[in-house]
Amino acid sequence: MPVEPTQDPFEDRLGAALRQTGDTFDTDRPALVAAGHTRGRRMRVRRRAAVFGGAASLALVGVGATLVLPGAGQGTDEERTRSAGRTGTAAVASATAAPTPLTGEEMIATLRSLLPAGKVTGATAQGTSTGTPYANVVYDDGQGAGAVAVGLGRVEPDSQSAREMTTCPDKAVFPHDACRTTRLADGSFLMIFQGYEYPDRRVDTKRWQAELVTPEGRHISVSEWNAAAEKDAPVTRPEPPLTPAELGKIATAPAWRGAADAIPVDPKGKPTSGTDLPPGADGTTVVKTLRKLMPKGLKVVSEGGQETEYGYVVVDDGRGATLVQINVQPDMSDVADQLFGPEAETLPDGTKVAVRQGPGEKGGEGVVMWTVDTLRPDGRRVVISAFNSGAQHTPATRETPALTIGQLREIALSEQWLTLL
């Protein structure tokens, strides 16, 4: 699949992480983006199906994505580590439960049994024998039809991917109405997200979802829409049919956990739908370094980032806000030809530099994006973008970004990034 010249770092995180159960829920792939860190080198150069539709941050080429941003719900990193490490009596007991394989028909029957009274039509499903089990139905409680989907997956316990699946996005980067992450008694983390199929609100289709990750690495994802399909269907009701509490109840149903345990593993003994993430630059340090490298005269008004590789700041020089985002990635040499075309500059030390200027993609009126992408001979990549707005999904606040291409280039080529990888 060809790499697009501009891609968003945030959404593919939500793609690989939240919808790693397979391409079972159709999404607006052209609106998705890549960057951040649910990756593996090959994942970085292709857009994965995303649970959250269109939206938000740095338009980068071929970077996998999974952000851990400020405002990320409840539960400290220490709590997450303890739970992911299978501590606690309930977690240990749950780990010993026998797997319960489900056919596609049984996936549908289980979902139907968990829904409140109403009419269920249009059911499709795959069982656990495929490695990507899911069930999709159209549910009508008498107040309008809404699509409901459940997907099952597995991730490595105590992993970055496991934590990120239940981390709420930053509203400054990915607009939504509400999101909350709760740690359950057995050590599982449950995220309830209330947002939109398209965060730029190009249509009024709402997407609500529950994401559950257990200490043993089970991943249960339940999504619903206020339309009979997630895309290309008229809105049928003001809100999706299930309340957030009902979504959470379905996601935490014991039947799904046994079914998730039955997902086949590959010959190396890892879940077929799991993601093994390589280490990356510490996200907190990425943000601190980005702040330090900002030109004089720019006031940082907000900042954020993810656990590794990605950070952003919003700066203002007194003439309007500018969003500046950066990804710092190791081991990208194997995709150099896909990231850098013949127009790219090669510096004397072998570093490749590409400059891109064009319109923003996320719905903000008049928004433009300037990007400088760099790749060192040893595979270390730094790519930075600036916008003439404080967020891609809001209207432009100025004619051009507050930083020039020259300043972006200087930041991207700074030797300080090399100490992070």
Query: Which domains are seen in the chain, by residue range?
Result: 77-261 (no CATH), 283-420 (3.40.1000)
Query: Hey, how many other C-beta atoms are within 10 angstroms of the C-beta on 96?
Result: 7
Region 304-311 average pLDDT: 84
Region 272-288 average pLDDT: 68
- What's the pLDDT score for residue 302? 92
Does the pLDDT of residue 247 top 90, yes or no? yes
**Residue position matching structure tokens 């009701």:** 237
pLDDT band at 363 (very low <50, low <70, confident <90, very high): low
What does the DSSP assignment read for 90-155?
Answer: HHHHHHTSPP----HHHHHHHHHHHSPSSEEEEEEEE-GGGSS-EEEEEEE-SS-EEEEEEEEEE-
Mind listing the pLDDT tens digit for each residue in 317-332? 999 999 999 999 998 9
- Compute the distance between CA of residue 44 and CA of residue 230 in angstroms, rounded to an integer: 26
Region 206-231 average pLDDT: 94
Q: Looking at per-residue confidence, does 361 or 132 come out higher?
A: 132
- For residue 329, the SS3 value is strand
- Nearest by Cα to 47 from 80, 83, 5, 100: 5
pLDDT band at 93 (very low <50, low <70, confident <90, very high): very low
Region 333-351 average pLDDT: 92
Q: Exposed/middle/buried for 117, CB within 10 Å: 0-12, 13-18, 19+? A: exposed
- For residue 311, the SS3 value is strand
What does the DSSP assignment read for 217-249?
Answer: -EEEEEEEESBSSSSSS-B-SSS-SS-HHHHHH
Mind listing the pLDDT tens digit for each residue in 384-403? 999 999 988 889 999 999 99
- What's the pLDDT score for residue 163? 84
Q: Looking at per-residue confidence, does 114 or 23 come out higher?
A: 114
Distance of alpha carbon 141 from the chain centroid: 31
Mind listing the pLDDT tens digit for each residue in 119-158? 999 999 999 987 689 999 999 999 999 999 999 999 888 7
- What's the pLDDT score for residue 104? 94
Asked if 243 and 116 count as a contact pair (C-beta separation under 8 A), the reply is: no
Q: For the full predicted model, state whether its pTM sits above 0.85.
A: no
- What's the pLDDT score for residue 343? 92
- Compute the distance between CA of residue 46 and CA of residue 90 in angstroms, rounded to an integer: 38
**Residue position matching structure tokens 């740690």:** 183
Choice among 236-245, 304-313, 370-379 with the minimum mean pLDDT: 304-313
User: What average pLDDT does the chain have?
Assistant: 77
- What's the pLDDT score for residue 34? 31
- Compute the distance between CA of residue 48 and CA of residue 37 in angstroms, rounded to an integer: 12
Kindly give, in sequence order, each residue whose CB lies less than 8 Å from that of residue 44, ignoring residues fewer than 6 positions away. 34, 62, 63, 64, 329, 332, 335
Choice among 5-14, 64-73, 279-288, 295-304 with the minimum mean pLDDT: 64-73
